[in-house]
A and B are shown apart, each in its own frame.
Chain A
């Protein structure tokens, strides 16, 4: 059995969530899970093409952070971007239609699985290369401070969140952006989703210092180690980071310890990872855990769970029907969107 790094226990004030907030988070996590399960099925059936990276197991991170943010805050993702987009408010229909390459997709069928964008929802993208989204998220954060201080816009108190994995933390853009964010006190949250594996490269084989949160202190920003399988812990840490950023006090790094249940992408045979390791993490499933919490706190009933699951199933099915029935882009528009005037 692989020796697992002990998951931190959350010891600050007991996590509190209202019933309304709890249900939003629960539904969001379920949507992420069901949506990805459907993607896997569609890929197997040859309906969805390209490189497809699924988020199963990591839902507590997207839901925990993004559902603690406001709708006018910015979200920036990687190639594993379906669920960040959903949490940011991009309708399932638009994400699914994008996977089908349809004109109704959030990127008009030009982007695909790894390039989800939505200006309307401040979803800055789906970036396919490691680390390239971090500077973009930093640019959004710079813009917020600029609008506030240079342009005197009192409403400029948004926050930008950059999501990326453990593999990215060995890339220069990670260090460069931590430095600039701390230097200029920019309102950004660096959310590391440490799922232990960069495709087939184990984190401890790639990083001399495996505890990523400790790297923040070198640049003078707070870094927290968070149980990424516990949505309440993620949410509590995110709230602290968001409040700090909104108050103009600067960036925070959150290292969320999590796991992807599936291979790196649907094309990955996933033969390297120990079945015992996979089981260790599945036993800590964030959705089951949060569901148990909601039941225990009497914030939800078994009947409500059933009805929510059925509702989310319908949302995913509806997104599929929408995507299948949507038109392909017009061949005459092949060159559309190259330039701003198009």
Chain B
């Protein structure tokens, strides 16, 4: 067992799948000779050649559409968004073609494509490079949306996404690429539609995903000191949401705090609260608390940026509040 960075775990996943299946290829800006802006495709150009690790011009909507056309006709492209925010330029292709085309075509074509890359709020990258597109894309039918958070789940999930016959939007977080972890020596694949229980507990269910998992776990350390026993669930799959896992936890804790990095309005949490009310209302002791990013373009100034996203102290406070509400 060796410590592996998250970016390298992703690289291993792509390498293993490319060597296993000749139809798997990577395309995007600077994925080839440059090795990827976060080195996720480092050395793969030398190993697999320029057609399988295709450096594209800066033309997001057209190369995304090209990947979809290649997927419709038999390849399994992995399309890298150098920054997932750039894929706003490919919104039409991701929505109309990746998401809806199978249905619109009455099942004529399948679209086994993975669209992956870094998202989330980094460190003072400014508004355009700090987007959380998962919230924008969640309404598109036909897409699967996954957010990895550890080297281990990054590798197992990306391998599953590549093998899946559906279009998968795969979100990595710009601040997590250098997280390190021991990975299993043997090959493993993780299910795309299952949440991951990070910590079991009985007091309150904290639902989170991607980098916010680490903000939550910082808060949990402090909460443990105060005698609380929270359950932490990393959603992993943002579409479809694993309501089996959420339901099982709510039946135990009867309290829910959602911690997300997307904006509050139209966010992932908004959808989850609505569905929890539909499915598990009678199990709740009180309203679900939602901690989201502020509804503003992410500011550059460090102090303002910190105010924009959820901090551990806010999570701590929210858990204490929901626990006191029971007393």
A binds B: yes
- Contact check, B73 vs A143: say whether CB atoms are below 8 A apart: yes
Query: Which residue of A110, A111, A136, A337 contacts B65 across the interface (Cβ within 8 Å)?
Result: A136
- Contact check, A143 vs B59: say whether CB atoms are below 8 A apart: no
Query: Which residue of B52, B72, B142 contacts A124 across the interface (Cβ within 8 Å)?
Result: B72
Rounded to whole Å, the gap between the CB of A73 and the closest CB of chain B is 11
- Residues of B contacting A134 in the complex (Cβ-Cβ under 8 angstroms): 62, 65
In the complex, B194 has a CB within 8 A of chain A: no
- Contact check, B61 vs A129: say whether CB atoms are below 8 A apart: no
Rounded to whole Å, the gap between the CB of B68 and the closest CB of chain A is 6
- Residues of A contacting B103 in the complex (Cβ-Cβ under 8 angstroms): 110, 337-338
- Residues of A contacting B65 in the complex (Cβ-Cβ under 8 angstroms): 132, 134-136, 138-139, 173
In the complex, A224 has a CB within 8 A of chain B: no
Q: Which has the most chain A C-beta neighbours within 10 Å: B66, B96, B110, B142?
A: B66
Contact with B along A126-151 (1 / 0, CB 8 A): 01110010111111111111110111
Residue of chain A at shortest CB distance from B165? A340
Residue of chain B at shortest CB distance from A98? B106
Rounded to whole Å, the gap between the CB of A120 and the closest CB of chain B is 8
Rounded to whole Å, the gap between the CB of B238 and the closest CB of chain A is 16
In the complex, B93 has a CB within 8 A of chain A: yes
- Contact check, B102 vs A179: say whether CB atoms are below 8 A apart: no
Rounded to whole Å, the gap between the CB of B165 and the closest CB of chain A is 4
Contact with B along A159-199 (1 / 0, CB 8 A): 00000000000001100110110010000000000000000
In the complex, B41 has a CB within 8 A of chain A: no
Beyond A139-B65, A176-B59, is A146–B105 a contact (Cβ under 8 Å)?
no
- Residues of B contacting A338 in the complex (Cβ-Cβ under 8 angstroms): 102-103, 141-142
9-residue interface stretch from A3-11, A60-68, A100-108, A243-251: A100-108
Contact with A along B113-136 (1 / 0, CB 8 A): 000000000000000000000000
- Contact check, A183 vs B57: say whether CB atoms are below 8 A apart: yes
Beyond A108-B106, A117-B104, is A179–B52 a contact (Cβ under 8 Å)?
no
The residues in B between 54 and 109 inclusive whose CB is less than 8 angstroms from any CB of A are 56-57, 59, 61-75, 92-93, 96-97, 101-109
Beyond A107-B108, A110-B103, A336-B107, is A146–B51 a contact (Cβ under 8 Å)?
yes
In the complex, A276 has a CB within 8 A of chain B: no
Contact with A along B129-168 (1 / 0, CB 8 A): 0000000000001100000000000000000000011100
Q: Which has the most chain B C-beta neighbours within 10 Å: A105, A117, A129, A142?
A: A142
- Contact check, B142 vs A339: say whether CB atoms are below 8 A apart: yes
Query: Which residue of A106, A117, A132, A179 contacts B57 across the interface (Cβ within 8 Å)?
Result: A179
Residue of chain A at shortest CB distance from B109? A119
Rounded to whole Å, the gap between the CB of A187 and the closest CB of chain B is 12
Query: Which residue of B23, B69, B108 contacts A135 across the interface (Cβ within 8 Å)?
Result: B69
- Contact check, A138 vs B62: say whether CB atoms are below 8 A apart: yes
Rounded to whole Å, the gap between the CB of B134 and the closest CB of chain A is 19
In the complex, B269 has a CB within 8 A of chain A: no
- Contact check, B68 vs A139: say whether CB atoms are below 8 A apart: yes
- Contact check, A110 vs B25: say whether CB atoms are below 8 A apart: no
In the complex, what distance in Å separates the CA atom of A179 from the CA atom of B56? 10
Beyond A132-B93, A136-B69, is A180–B63 a contact (Cβ under 8 Å)?
yes
Beyond A135-B93, A149-B51, A338-B102, is A180–B62 a contact (Cβ under 8 Å)?
yes
In the complex, what distance in Å separates the CA atom of A172 from the CA atom of B59? 9
- Contact check, A135 vs B51: say whether CB atoms are below 8 A apart: no
Residue of chain B at shortest CB distance from A112? B104
- Residues of B contacting A125 in the complex (Cβ-Cβ under 8 angstroms): 101, 105
- Contact check, A150 vs B52: say whether CB atoms are below 8 A apart: yes
- Contact check, B104 vs A124: say whether CB atoms are below 8 A apart: no
In the complex, B49 has a CB within 8 A of chain A: yes
- Contact check, B52 vs A140: say whether CB atoms are below 8 A apart: no
In the complex, A118 has a CB within 8 A of chain B: yes
Beyond A139-B67, A139-B70, is A129–B96 a contact (Cβ under 8 Å)?
yes
- Contact check, A339 vs B71: say whether CB atoms are below 8 A apart: no
Beyond A125-B101, A176-B61, A180-B56, is A107–B106 a contact (Cβ under 8 Å)?
yes
The residues in B between 9 and 24 inclusive whose CB is less than 8 angstroms from any CB of A are 22-23
In the complex, B112 has a CB within 8 A of chain A: yes
Contact with B along A49-88 (1 / 0, CB 8 A): 0000000000000000000000000101000000000000
- Contact check, A180 vs B57: say whether CB atoms are below 8 A apart: yes
Residue of chain B at shortest CB distance from A174? B62
- Residues of A contacting B106 in the complex (Cβ-Cβ under 8 angstroms): 105-111, 117, 337
In the complex, what distance in Å separates the CA atom of A338 from the CA atom of B92? 17
Beyond A132-B96, A146-B51, A180-B59, is A118–B108 a contact (Cβ under 8 Å)?
yes
Q: Which has the most chain B C-beta neighbours within 10 Å: A124, A139, A150, A177?
A: A139
- Contact check, B62 vs A124: say whether CB atoms are below 8 A apart: no
In the complex, A115 has a CB within 8 A of chain B: yes
- Contact check, A139 vs B72: say whether CB atoms are below 8 A apart: yes
Rounded to whole Å, the gap between the CB of A341 and the closest CB of chain B is 7
- Residues of A contacting B92 in the complex (Cβ-Cβ under 8 angstroms): 129, 132
- Residues of A contacting B23 in the complex (Cβ-Cβ under 8 angstroms): 151
Beyond A135-B69, A177-B62, is A341–B165 a contact (Cβ under 8 Å)?
yes
- Residues of A contacting B61 in the complex (Cβ-Cβ under 8 angstroms): 135, 172-173, 176
A138-B69, A140-B72, A176-B57 given; name 6 further pairs at CB < 8 Å.
A124-B69, A142-B66, A146-B25, A146-B52, A176-B62, A340-B110
Residues on A close to B: CB < 8 A? Answer: 74, 76, 105-111, 115, 117-119, 124-125, 127-129, 132, 134-147, 149-151, 172-173, 176-177, 179-180, 183, 336-342
What 6 A-B pairs come out closest when comparing CB atoms? A139-B69, A135-B65, A108-B106, A340-B165, A117-B105, A176-B62
Chain A to chain B contacts (Cβ below 8 Å), 5 pairs: A132-B97, A135-B65, A139-B72, A143-B73, A340-B111
Residues on B close to A: CB < 8 A? Answer: 22-23, 25, 49, 51-52, 56-57, 59, 61-75, 92-93, 96-97, 101-112, 141-142, 164-166
